[in-house]
Chain A
Amino acid sequence: MKKYWTVFKTEFQKSSEYRLEFFGHMIMGLFTFAVMVFVFRAIFQGNPEIAGYTFSSVFTYLVMTKFLHPAIRWNVARLLADEIKEGRLSAYLLKPFGVLRYWFSLFWADRLVDILIRLSLIVAFLVLLPRYFSFPGFGTTLSFGLSLVLALFLNFTFNILLSLFAFWVTDIRLFSTAIDLAVGFFAGALVPLDFLPGILKPASFFLPFQYLLYFPIRVFQGAVGPEQTWVGMLISLGWLVALLILLDYFWRKGIKHYEAIGQ
């Protein structure tokens, strides 16, 4: 356990070194955010409520989408896929540690720095724009925190599953695009799931993607009752277990297939 803690600490320090870069990205992200706020303000002009949302609740939704961005990032998948593709995975396999546990430590260190920096964004919005963005109370924040942790666990599992394609194909971009599509529609990254028409909306509730983004945001907004919150978390946990079983299966298959090309 100590070795993974050391990996976590080292990666945390390394990621903190690049905090200016994180901030740079966040500031640029704020520009896109501001444009989206203008778009939704135009949409809500003359429409006080759309699909159960007011402009204020959409504003909170957009802010929280920015905050939860670490839960829909696929950087770990790209990095690990490169290690597999270039044959560098051999170096990990020869060392006395679990490869996935090592990447798990790297993942959490990276996400923690990201979340901490994004927290400053939340504080800024709470202070500067209380009319649109307000503190939901300690109980709701705690529920949100739990759903965020589950979202990050799910994100890690998806990242690793995505990277495992590199055992069989040389380029995983098509798969990462597929997951981007799934996240765009079924996690609520493009628009809140309540905006989806016809069968897409009920379909989204049977998929794991909403637990990456939509569900935690709705918990934060207090739109999900206490009982539904627990049910949602249990379903999210169920998906996590199912995906972990899938991950374990494909990891074993992949390792057998691994050829250490170039090493």
Chain B
Amino acid sequence: MRYLSLYFHFFRVSLMAALEYRFNLLVWTFLNLFWTLLSFVGIELLFGQVSSIAGWPKQEIFLLLIIWTIFHDFLSIFIRPSLRQISHLIRHGKFDFLLLKPVSLRFLSSVQDFGIDSVSRFCLTSVILVFFLRQMGIEPSLLLWLDFTLLFLSGAIIFYSFFFALAGLNFWFINLFNLDDLHSRLIDAGRFPIDIFRGRAKTFFTYLLPIAFIAFFPAQILLGRIGSEWVVYGAVMASVFFIASQLFWSLALRSYSSASS
């Protein structure tokens, strides 16, 4: 209960900070919507030349892109802003303040900041998803929506854990390159069907660094191509990534030496 109250407190603080700069918030919202539009136009241009990509017709690629946008925004709201802060806190010796608090360090490092500017696009694309599915002639049952949500959340936990573990590298390498850029590039790769990859690359992106969880598996379950067993697989993968990231983080934390305070 205490953690839940802390979570909402942090969210409220981020919301208040974002609303202080309303024009900024408006500009970022507009830009986010604009880039989404551009992605759709890019796909439209490619489909001006071909009728399918790796066996996926235009409508299904659009579905993939809608789900990818929702996933991207989910991470941008709830996960990436806090993880972005970690390197800054370590580099400037401010991480001590987190260590001294009587709260789980992982929790505190993961909930300090929220990306409020992605909320509007997240809501908008979620609504678009429902209408788009209807247009495709797909009316998912409540159980299918549940499977979809669980797969989606598994993907979010997998990528949160992976990025959290990567943030641990900051304890060893203070001047690490821009991890946020790496996050973006990895997530971007999830826009396309995994079927474009072949051989080892396909195995790698399905099982080891499963970008398939970003949009591919959730889209597949909505299209009725995979069953509920993949939800179980998602839960197993999410647990493995979560535990592994905790072990890696604990190991890395031992190398932390306060920079200034």
Inter-chain CA distance A59–B196, complex, in Å, is 15
Q: Is A51's CB under 8 angstroms from B49's CB?
A: yes
Residue among B45, B48, B49 with max Cβ neighbours from chain A (10 Å): B49
Q: Mark B30-53, 1 if CB is under 8 A from A, else 0.
A: 110010001000100110111001
* Cross-chain contact A190 with B195 (CB below 8 angstroms): no
* A39 and B196 contact, Cβ closer than 8 Å, known pairs A28-B185, A191-B42: yes
Q: In the bound complex, do residue B181 and residue A28 qualify as a contact, i.e. CB atoms below 8 Å apart?
A: yes
Chain A residues bordering chain B, tally (CB within 8 A): 29
Q: Are A173 and B50 in contact (CB under 8 A)?
A: no
A170 nearest CB neighbor, chain B only = B23
Query: Are A173 and B31 also in contact (CB < 8 A) when A31-B185, A42-B53, A191-B46 are?
Result: yes
> Count the B residues whose beta carbon is within 8 Å of the partner chain — how many?
29
| Total A-B residue contacts, Cβ distance less than 8 Å | 72
Majority secondary structure of chain A interface residues (helix, strand, loop or mixed): helix
User: Within 8 Å of chain A (Cβ to Cβ): is B27?
Assistant: yes
A102 vs B50: C-alpha distance in the bound complex, in angstroms?
48
A23 and B34 CA atoms in complex are apart in Å by 30
Taking the complex as formed, is A21 at the interface, i.e. its CB lies under 8 A from any CB of chain B? yes
Cα-based distance from A196 to B48 in the complex (angstroms)? 8
Q: Which of A185-203 contact B (CB under 8 A)?
A: 190-191, 195-197
The B-contacting residues of A in range 127-165, CB under 8 angstroms, are none
Q: Mind listing 13 A-B residue pairs with CB under 8 Å?
A: A29-B185, A31-B185, A31-B186, A35-B192, A38-B198, A43-B50, A50-B50, A173-B27, A174-B27, A174-B31, A177-B34, A191-B46, A197-B45
Contacts from A to B (Cβ < 8 Å): 20-21, 24-25, 28-29, 31-32, 35, 38-39, 41-43, 45, 47, 50-51, 171, 173-174, 177, 181, 184, 190-191, 195-197
